[in-house]
Amino acid sequence: MNAIDVTGLVKRFGEKTVVDQVSMQVGEGEIVGFLGPNGSGKTTTIRIMCGLLTPDEGEGRVLGFDLRTESLKIKREVGYMTQKFSFYEDLTIAENLEFVARLYGLFPVRTHVRRTLDDLGLTTRRNQLAGTLSGGWKQRLALAACIMHHPKLLLLDEPTAGVDPKARRDFWDEIHQLARGGLTVLVSTHYMDEAERCHRISYISYGRMLTTGTVNEVIRNAGLTTFVVAGARLNEVAAALEGRPGVEQVAPFGATLHVVGSDAEALRHSLAEFDGREGITVTPGETSLEDVFIQFMADAKDNMG
């Protein structure tokens, strides 16, 4: 049984269709990254899945429970971390965790809270008001709170926004460890390195699911060709390349330029005249996930007209 199995979800706010025929299957124990530009409908889709919004169209089951009729059952088994911090800022860290523990019936409350505080390394700050925590710590508290009741499915909406690299790595280590134990995770993110840590990624754009698959599949299916340009005075080269046939992205990466296009022939042809000029070298490069996403976004803009 899939942990998430939804088809044809549609959500409209007024005239605007924010989620448009979105289908998604996520197997048990899978970690799926949910990517897409700002305002593409990630949060809205996740809210539908945990019963916070009713879809205008579409059906689905989450953890085997019907999306429309069994949302209370879904809520018990799901850990949902909101994009915006939504615990009580006027409660202390410990009080927030106690609140969650009691709501999910985790007894004895003290033991659960103490363990969570220890794991977080927040034991010494347990009596600090949650509202006075720094942004990254708020995220970590929220994450700890939504894992506390051992959910079967985690829906994480940008859980690591503003979190430092060390904490982010700890977080992903923990996610993988939990997934090995059978936990399913759907996590939205804007970070490429996090996308690459997922078993699978889904990309949504303006409410439509554009692609889904492993990172390699997504890159391969995008059909992009990338060249790396190295040498001196790359600014001028970049300016000269802009708008040439086949050249769709020109992005500086350290001391090199990544030039990306979907028409390999045209791209190669455009680059040929620079190769060897004034000590400039052009070598074939690997297309990155970021290149693919930038391409998606550019295409989507074209669609929008």
Partner 1 sequence: MKLSSTSMVFSWPRLAALLIKEFIQMRRDRITFAMMLGVPLMQLVLFGYAINNDPRGLPAALVALSNDHYTRAMVTALETTDYYRFGHVVESAAEAERLMASGAVSFVVTIPSDFARRVDRGDNPQILIEADATDPAVASGAISTLSTVASEALLREQGRQQVADEEARSRLEVIVHRRYNPELISQFNIVPGLLGVILQLTMVMMTSIALTRETERGTMENLLAMPASPLEIMLGKVLPYLVVGAVQVVVVLAASKLLFSVPFVGSLLLLLSAILVFVLALVLLGYTISTIARTQMQALQLTVFFFLPSILLSGFMFPYRGMPGWAQLLGELLPLTHFLRVIRAVMLKGAGLQSIAPEIVWLVGFVVFFAAIALARFRRTLD
Ligand X SMILES: Nc1ncnc2c1ncn2[C@@H]1O[C@H](COP(=O)(O)OP(=O)(O)OP(=O)(O)O)[C@@H](O)[C@H]1O
Binding mask 5-44 for Mg ion (x = CB under 5 A): -------------------------------------xx-
- Does 212 sit near partner 1 (CB under 8 A)? no
Query: From CA 238, how far away is CA 281, in angstroms rounded?
Result: 13
Q: Look at the alpha carbons of 158, 162, 168, 170 in this order and tell me if their dihedral is positive or negative.
A: negative
CB of 159 to ligand X, least distance (A): 12
Query: From CA 84, how far away is CA 157, in angstroms rounded?
Result: 9
Contact segment (CB under 5 A) with Mg ion among 77-85, 96-104, 201-209, 231-239 equals 77-85
Residue 202 · residue 22 · CB < 8 Å: no
Nearer to ligand X, 42 or 168 (CB): 42
- Residue 76's binding partner, choosing from partner 1, ligand X, Mg ion, none, with beta-carbon cut-off 5 to 8 A by kind? partner 1
CB nearest ligand X: which residue? 43
Binding residues vs ligand X (CB under 6 A): 13, 18, 36, 38-44, 83
Helix axes 109-120, 135-147, angle to 10 degrees: 140
- Does 191 sit near partner 1 (CB under 8 A)? no
Instruction: Give SS3 for 153.
Output: strand
Instruction: Give SS3 for 215.
Output: helix
- Does 103 sit near partner 1 (CB under 8 A)? yes
CB of 7 to Mg ion, least distance (A): 22
- Residue 41's binding partner, choosing from Mg ion, partner 1, ligand X, none, with beta-carbon cut-off 5 to 8 A by kind? ligand X
Q: Look at the alpha carbons of 112, 116, 118, 124 in this order and tell me if their dihedral is positive or negative.
A: negative
What are the structure tokens assigned to 136, written together?
């990254």
- Does 102 sit near partner 1 (CB under 8 A)? yes
Nearer to partner 1, 104 or 191 (CB): 104
- Residue 169's binding partner, choosing from Mg ion, ligand X, partner 1, none, with beta-carbon cut-off 5 to 8 A by kind? none
Nearer to partner 1, 79 or 231 (CB): 79
CB atoms within 10 A of CB 111: 11
Q: Which one of 105, 181, 243, 305 is in contact with partner 1 (CB under 8 A)?
A: 105
Which stretches of the chain are assigned E, i.e. beta strand?
Answer: 4-13, 16-26, 31-35, 57-62, 65-66, 78-81, 153-157, 184-188, 200-205, 208-213, 225-230, 249-253, 256-261, 281-285
Nearest to 289 by CA among 194, 188, 173: 194
**CA angle at residue 103 from 132 to 152, to 5 degrees?**
100
Nearer to partner 1, 94 or 260 (CB): 94
- Residue 148's binding partner, choosing from ligand X, partner 1, Mg ion, none, with beta-carbon cut-off 5 to 8 A by kind? none
> Applying CB under 8 A, which residues contact partner 1?
47, 50-54, 71-73, 75-76, 78, 80, 82, 84-91, 95, 98-105, 107
